[in-house]
Structure formats: structure tokens, C-alpha cells
């Protein structure tokens, strides 16, 4: 099989553009030094992930994924400074509904702080806070993590492992994509 992308689906919303990149092979982009692959990844694995907890994840993306039979992972946080604005960001009940609909709810820190700017105790506090929110809404403790801003740091792996995380996703711009994250 070709290792090139098999398809690219683009979902546009009024406020944000999401690129859902369906890769036929996961080894698609330069791997950041902190992305250590400790276990083999199955061939042709496809993972759809969505970051930042924007409201269109609940109103547009999740219904589309359900319609076409896809799973997905939503890396949520309380994105500053407008998390309270529910025209922009999901409420926790909406995040809970993603879990109840069978999607994975995962950690993107509580306040979208870049891990290379945090001490290990600060990073742990961010993880603890989002896990506490999940517990409040009866969402299982996250076991996967996405690095805000794609910034990584070697000590973050130690903290994540100690906290019981199985997988952490960074990111990079691939030749066929626009800038990987577009905030408002």
C-alpha cells in the first residue's frame, strides 16, 4: 500500500477550519524528538483527533463522525480567554455527551499551557485539573494527551507516564496541510 494520504476531508465552520487528515500510514510527518514510539503502531492505523474543545466539535464534527461511522478523540481544555463563551467553546455537559456517544475524551491540559513553559509540578497540576473535571462529569480518566501548540519537553514524558498516560500526540505541518492549528 502507498504510504501517501488516502483522503483528506475538510469541514468548514463559520468560525474555524478543521482538517481531518485520514492517513493510510501514521509515519507521515517529521517526528519531534520528544515523540518516542515505545510500542509498534499497527499498519494503516487511522486516528482522528480534534483539539481545543471548540463548540463546533459538538455541533458539527461529532454528528458527522457518527453519521459516517467514525470514532474520534477530542483533546479538550478550558481554552483561555474565552472558554466561558459557549458560542465558541463546548460546555462540560457537551463534552460529557461526546463521551456518552462513544468518543474518547482526552487531555489537552486544563488551560492550554505549553509543556515546555511548565515545571513538572505545574504540568502535573494541569493534568490533575482536567482529570478532576472529567471525574465530575463521569468521564473516564484520560489516558491520552495532546501537546498544546505541539511544544514538547523531555520531562513531560516522565510526568505523563507517572500519571498513567499511554500515548501523547504532538504534531507538525505536513506538506499537504495548512497550518495545523488555527485559533480564532
Binding site for Zn ion (CB under 5 A): 51-52, 148
Q: How far apart are CA 136 and CA 94, in angstroms?
A: 13
The distance of closest approach from Cβ of residue 28 to Zn ion in the complex, given in angstroms and rounded to an integer, is 19
- Nearest-angstrom CA–CA distance, 138 and 160: 21
**Pairing between β-strand 17-23 and β-strand 49-51 as defined by DSSP bridges:** unpaired
Least Å from the CB of residue 183 to Zn ion: 8
**Residue 128 half-sphere exposure, CB side, CA atoms within 13 Å?**
8
Question: What's the CA gap between 121 and 125, in Å, rounded?
Answer: 6
Nearer to Zn ion, 65 or 115 (CB): 115
Smaller CB separation from Zn ion, 7 or 184: 184
CB of 52 to Zn ion, least distance (A): 4
Between 66 and 153, CB nearer to Zn ion: 153
Q: Smallest distance, Å, CB 107 to Zn ion?
A: 11
Residue in the structure block whose three cell numbers are 501514521: 26
- Minimum Å gap between C-beta 103 and Zn ion is 17
Could you tell me the end-to-end alpha-carbon distance of the chain, in angstroms, rounded to an integer? 38
The greatest distance separating any two alpha carbons of the chain, rounded to the nearest whole angstrom, comes to 46
* Rounded (5°) CA angle 93-143-54: 40
Q: Given the complex with Zn ion, which of 52 and 78 has the nearer CB atom?
A: 52
Closest residue to Zn ion, based on beta-carbon distance: 51
* Cα atoms in the Cβ-side hemisphere of radius 13 Å centred on 173: 8
User: Residue 51 or residue 78: which is nearer to Zn ion going by CB?
Assistant: 51
Amino acid at each position: 500500500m502507498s504510504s501517501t494520504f488516502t483522503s483528506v476531508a475538510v469541514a468548514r465552520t463559520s468560525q474555524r477550519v478543521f482538517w481531518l487528515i485520514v492517513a493510510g500510514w501514521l509515519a507521515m510527518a517529521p517526528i519531534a524528538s520528544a515523540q518516542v514510539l515505545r510500542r509498534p503502531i499497527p499498519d494503516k492505523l487511522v486516528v482522528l483527533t480534534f483539539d481545543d474543545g471548540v463548540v463546533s466539535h459538538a455541533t458539527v464534527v461529532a454528528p458527522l463522525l457518527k453519521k459516517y461511522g467514525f470514532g474520534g478523540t477530542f483533546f479538550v481544555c478550558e481554552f483561555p480567554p474565552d472558554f466561558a463563551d459557549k458560542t465558541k467553546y463546548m460546555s462540560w455537559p457537551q463534552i460529557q455527551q461526546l463521551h456518552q456517544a462513544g468518543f474518547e475524551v482526552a487531555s489537552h491540559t486544563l488551560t492550554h499551557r505549553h509543556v515546555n513553559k511548565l515545571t513538572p509540578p505545574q504540568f502535573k497540576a494541569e493534568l490533575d485539573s482536567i482529570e478532576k473535571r472529567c471525574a465530575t462529569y463521569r468521564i473516564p480518566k484520560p489516558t491520552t494527551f495532546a501537546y498544546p501548540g505541539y511544544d514538547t519537553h523531555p520531562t513531560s514524558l516522565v510526568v505523563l507516564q507517572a500519571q498513567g498516560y499511554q500515548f501523547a500526540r504532538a504534531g507538525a505541518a505536513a506538506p499537504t496541510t495548512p497550518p495545523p492549528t488555527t485559533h480564532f
